[in-house]
Amino acid sequence: MNTNKYIIGVDGGGTSTEGVLFCSDGKPLAKLVVEGTNLYVYKEKAIKTILNLINELLKLCNIDYSDISALGFGLAGVSDLSMRDLLLRELDKLGIGNKSLVISDIETAYQLLCPKGYGLLVSVGTGVVCMGRNQMGQSIKVAGKGYDRGDIGSGYWIGKKIINYILLNQSSLLADNDMREIFSVIKNTLNISTINSLDSIFNDDGDIVNKTASIAKDVIKLAESGNDVALAVLQEGTTSVGEYILYLIDEIKYEKNDIMIAGHGSIIKNKFYRKLLNDALQFDLNNIRWVFSDLSTSYISGIISANCRNIRVSINDVVKYIN
Q: What is the pLDDT of residues 110-138, one digit of tens each?
A: 988 888 888 899 999 988 999 988 888 88
Q: What is the pLDDT of residues 164-200, one digit of tens each?
A: 998 888 877 777 889 889 998 998 888 888 887 887 7
The answer to whether 156 and 127 are in contact (CB under 8 A) is yes
- The mean pLDDT value for 226-238 works out to 96
Domain boundaries, the chain: 6-110+295-322
| SS3 call for 6 | strand
**Pairwise CA distance, residues 91 & 89, whole Å:** 5
CB atoms within 10 A of CB 286: 11
pLDDT at 137: 82
Q: What is the pLDDT of residues 219-229, one digit of tens each?
A: 999 999 999 99
CA distances from 151 to 58, 90, 108 (A): 36, 30, 20
**Pairwise CA distance, residues 256 & 59, whole Å:** 51
Per DSSP, what are the bridge partners of residue 28?
A: 22
Task: Tell me which CATH code domain 6-110+295-322 carries.
Answer: 3.30.420.40
Contacts 24+ apart (CB under 8 A), 61-68: 61/6, 61/21, 61/29, 61/30, 63/6, 63/21, 65/94, 65/95, 65/96, 66/95, 67/6, 68/6, 68/7, 68/8, 68/96, 68/99
- The mean pLDDT value for 22-33 works out to 94
pLDDT at 323: 66
pLDDT at 1: 39
Q: Does residue 154 carry a pLDDT above 60?
A: yes
Instruction: Give the pLDDT band (50/70/90) at residue 141.
Output: confident
**Pairwise CA distance, residues 31 & 48, whole Å:** 18
Q: Of 130, 104, 112, nearest to 40 (Cα)?
A: 104
Q: What is the pLDDT of residues 249-301, one digit of tens each?
A: 888 887 766 678 899 999 999 999 999 999 988 766 667 788 998 888 999 99
Q: Which amino acid is at 65?
A: Y
Q: What is the pLDDT of residues 74-101, one digit of tens each?
A: 998 888 889 999 999 999 999 999 999 9
Contacts 24+ apart (CB under 8 A), 22-28: 22/299, 22/302, 22/318, 24/69, 24/306, 24/311, 24/312, 24/313, 24/317, 25/313, 25/317, 26/313, 26/314, 26/316, 26/317, 26/318, 26/319, 26/320, 26/321, 27/321, 28/318, 28/321, 28/322
pLDDT at 193: 82
The answer to whether 300 and 18 are in contact (CB under 8 A) is no
Express the helix, strand and coil content of the chain in percent, nearest 5 each: 50, 20, 30
pTM, rounded to two decimals: 0.86
* Phi, psi dihedrals of residue 254, rounded to the nearest 5°: -85, 145
